[in-house]
Amino acid sequence: MDVEDIARAAQLASALEVSGYPKPGNVHRTADLKGMTFEHFIASSIAIGPVLLDVAKKGFRVGKGEIKSADIGVGGTIKSAIGNTMKWQRDGNTNLGIVLLLMPIAAAAGITLGKEGKIQMKKLRANLSCVLKSTTPEDALNVYDAILIANPEGLGKVDELDLKNEASRKRIKEEQISLYEIMNMSSGWDNISREWVTDMQITFEFGYPLVKKLYGKTKNMNTTTVQSFLEILSKYPDTYVQRIHGKKIAEKVSKKAKAIIKEGGLSTKTGRVLITELDEELREKTINPGTTADLISSSLMLAILDGLRP
């Protein structure tokens, strides 16, 4: 494996995630959402490739002792990736959550490759922890820019360090507040932020092992993607859904996913019927478990780095 393979692994993970069908409430290869198409997401997975390669190369240099983790500039790479996404498709926000997860993983994979000459999950996670915790105020400001460029739904207004408030930027600079610290502030209500401050616990401890297990059992990429999506959704209520529709709705969606898993999911006729019904229901109500899809991308990336091939 080389640094180019790290970037390809992230791009492939992003493309495989959106290809999984039918992922209830999400864009997939047989269904679009209003103003958001499958093609937008495929274009986005390709558009972020050059930035992924750049961050992997910087990580590799860290691994070789040429630069420090803080010099990677993870926030800047996130901003660049979102800029590239906007350049190559016309939908808007297709991959902010994915980029927030995959960029630091790519950096950590580069470090691991530089140090060890290969990718090992335990060491990858240790290096990821260093990447996340060494972020700077400049990283924070760049991610604020990235979020404003992507303009995702459901941001709302927060009491502390609201990204739409210019005073927040001033405070970040004056008090030298890192991106990691800001993620910690939002980790109670956002699973992407929670991943940042737990060394990506859901991704490493649940999603990645699940993907490996399911693919080993089924040898079917689509079944693996959809089943993994349902299992993560059943265990972790989607925080994007919660921000848009409320906690009760998010928990209700998770309960339905759990019931589908109990019926066998894609492996049984009853499960397939229930998946289709849930997909149609969520689309009708414009309920989109987008954070769960992001977590599938990061889980797939780890599995691909660990040797999985569709």
**DSSP 3-state of 28:** strand
Which 3 state secondary structure label does DSSP give 209? helix
Q: What are phi and psi of 135, to 5 degrees?
A: -65, 160
Task: Please give the CATH topology (third level) of the domain spanning 3-305.
Answer: Triphosphoribosyl-dephospho-CoA protein (1.10.4200)
Task: Give residue-wise pLDDT tens across range 13-71.
Answer: 999 999 999 999 999 999 999 889 999 999 999 999 999 999 999 999 999 999 999 99
What's the pLDDT score for residue 159? 58
Q: Are 150 and 96 in contact (CB under 8 A)?
A: yes
Confidence class for position 304, pLDDT limits 50, 70, 90: very high
Give the confidence band of 176 by pLDDT, cuts at 50, 70, 90.
Answer: very high
What's the mean pLDDT in 103-110? 98
**Structure confidence by residue, pLDDT tens digits, 215-257:** 999 999 999 999 999 999 999 999 999 999 999 999 999 999 9
Report pLDDT for 157: 52
What SS3 class is residue 224? Answer: helix
Is residue 164 very low, low, confident or very high in pLDDT (cuts 50, 70, 90)? confident
Exposed/middle/buried for residue 259 (C-beta within 10 Å: 0-12, 13-18, 19+)? middle
pLDDT of residue 158 exceeding 70:
no
How confident is the model over 121-155, as pLDDT tens digits? 999 999 999 999 999 999 999 999 999 999 877 55
Count other C-beta atoms under 10 Å from residue 186's C-beta. 17
Gap between the Cα atoms of 181 and 135, Å rounded: 9
pLDDT at 91: 86
Contacts of residue 113, defined as CB under 8 A and 6 or more positions apart, other chains included, come to: 1, 2, 3, 6, 56, 59, 60, 63, 119
**Amino acid identity at 224:** T
Contact 51, 77 (CB under 8 A): yes
The region of weakest confidence among 5-9, 35-39, 103-107, 253-257 is: 35-39
Domains in the chain: boundaries: 3-305
Question: For residue 206, what is the DSSP state?
Answer: I
pLDDT of residue 257: 98
Provide the β-strand partners of residue 36.
33
**What is the value of pTM for the model shown?**
0.96
What integer is the mean pLDDT of 210-215?
Answer: 98
Report, as an integer, the average pLDDT of 71-87.
97
Phi, psi of 36 (to 5 degrees): -130, 120
Helices (H), the chain: 3-19, 38-47, 49-63, 74-88, 96-116, 121-133, 137-150, 166-175, 179-186, 191-197, 201, 208-218, 221-235, 239-245, 247-262, 269-284, 290-305
More confident residue, 166 or 163: 166
Closest CA to 88 of 29, 139, 40: 40
Round the average pLDDT of the chain to a whole number and report it.
95
